[in-house]
Amino acid sequence: MGKHSLLSASASQRWIACPPSARLSEEYADKPSEYAQAGTDCHELCAYKVEKALGRKIRNPVKRLSFYDEEMEECSDGYRNFVLECIAQAKTSCNDPLVLVEQRLDYSRYVDVEGSFGTGDCVIVADRMLYVIDYKHGLGILVSAEKNSQLSCYALGALDLFDGIYDIERITLVIYQPRRANISLYEMGKDELLAWASDTLAPAAKLAQEGNGEFKAGDHCQFCKARANCRKRAEYNLELAKYDFEVPATLEDSEIAAILPRIDELASWASDVKDYALQKALSGTRFDGFKVVEGRSNRKYTDEDAVAKAVKAAGFEPYEQKLLGITAMSQVLGKKKFEELLGELVYKPAGKPVLVPDSDKRPAMNTAADDFGAASTL
């Protein structure tokens, strides 16, 4: 089976919640993205650094990475250090834990579909303990390890490989997501994992394989290939029409609170539909009341070298002097020299206020109401 199997672990949150989406997604082609490639590049760099730290021979991949930059270097450094800490922790109960990097983990027997496997970024096996560590390069979605179906599938594959040798009792699922300053851990017993496999995973996998079950919209729709023209997702988002999109001032606070959790998904759905419609229109489909036109564009030079030469010949300076940005300056000077020369000249301003769910790990800002309340107690 290819890279993207019918019941892939990475899409398991979706096909467990919405079983028929697995077969429906087969009708759509994979669409590569720069975000996905950047994630792939960083995974390769992370694997290299962990292997090297363990004293294993491995080629440095940096020269062939398309999206390598300073941020990726820092993220992979942090990941390597974190994995080494996990290994040190495992050594407190096992003198020689097994450490596997980019390990194929097959969970086929739990979903009854041959070729169902994934790749564990790092698997640490010690006496009675199993660590499954997954690196996430994404910035948009905060990923939690708690009851994470992707890592649970990986853990099932790891159990099949090592349980007979190490007599595993406890399993720790780990998400390392440096660009969101997120390290999430979830520990569970082997019995809990196996119960989930039989009670949740297997029944959903059977429905998904057969193309049965009910379509269900939710957060899991975000990476579904059918997300743009899925009827269930459209119905789910159009439920907001019951508010008639009145001026917010006419809505009760409780009504606004009910709408807020859906806003991001609604905006994402609307964007997906527009992108899908544009691609269909470019292929010849006509939508009543709409046409394809050229978007706005800016003028560009046909030959920048010739422009610079002509301007200099006329007695003018064609280039502007501009201070390098912090990232570029750090690359020029190196981290140590940058801190030595400029450490006291760099600051981080307060970020623009953003309204987020309570589950967000960032501390709440003081609002005007908070400040007023504090002042009134003086």
pTM of this prediction exceeds 0.95: no
85 Cβ partners below 8 Å, 6+ apart? Answer: none
Residue 131 tokens, joined: 């660590």
pLDDT digits (tens, 9 = 90+) for 33-56: 898 999 999 999 999 999 999 999
Q: What is the pLDDT of residue 372?
A: 52
Q: What is the pLDDT of residue 244?
A: 56
Cα-to-chain-centroid distance, residue 118: 16
Residue 124's closest CA among 164, 171, 77?
171
Per-residue pLDDT band at 374 (split at 50, 70, 90): low
Q: Which fold has domain 12-210?
A: Lambda Exonuclease; Chain A (3.90.320)
Question: Rounded to whole angstroms, how far apart are CA atoms 126 and 170?
Answer: 10
pLDDT digits (tens, 9 = 90+) for 270-280: 888 888 888 88
Res. 1: pLDDT tops 50: no
pLDDT digits (tens, 9 = 90+) for 148-165: 999 999 999 999 999 888
Sign for the pseudo-dihedral over CA of 46, 152, 33, 274? negative
Q: What is the pLDDT of residue 210?
A: 94
Instruction: Kindly state the average pLDDT of the residues 330-352.
Output: 89
Q: Find the helix packing angle between 34-53 and 70-90, rounded to 10°.
A: 50
| Averaged confidence pLDDT in the chain | 89
Q: What is the pLDDT of residue 371?
A: 58
Cβ distance 6 to 22 under 8 Å? yes
Q: What is the pLDDT of residue 345?
A: 94
Per-residue pLDDT band at 355 (split at 50, 70, 90): confident
Per-residue pLDDT band at 70 (split at 50, 70, 90): confident
Res. 2: pLDDT tops 60: no
Instruction: Kindly state the average pLDDT of the residues 75-81.
Output: 95
Cα-to-chain-centroid distance, residue 84: 23
Question: Rounded to whole angstroms, how far apart are CA atoms 350 and 352?
Answer: 7
Sign for the pseudo-dihedral over CA of 82, 88, 90, 95? positive
**Domain edges within the chain:** 12-210, 227-282, 304-345
Strands (DSSP E) contained in the chain are 98-106, 117-126, 129-135, 170-177, 182-189
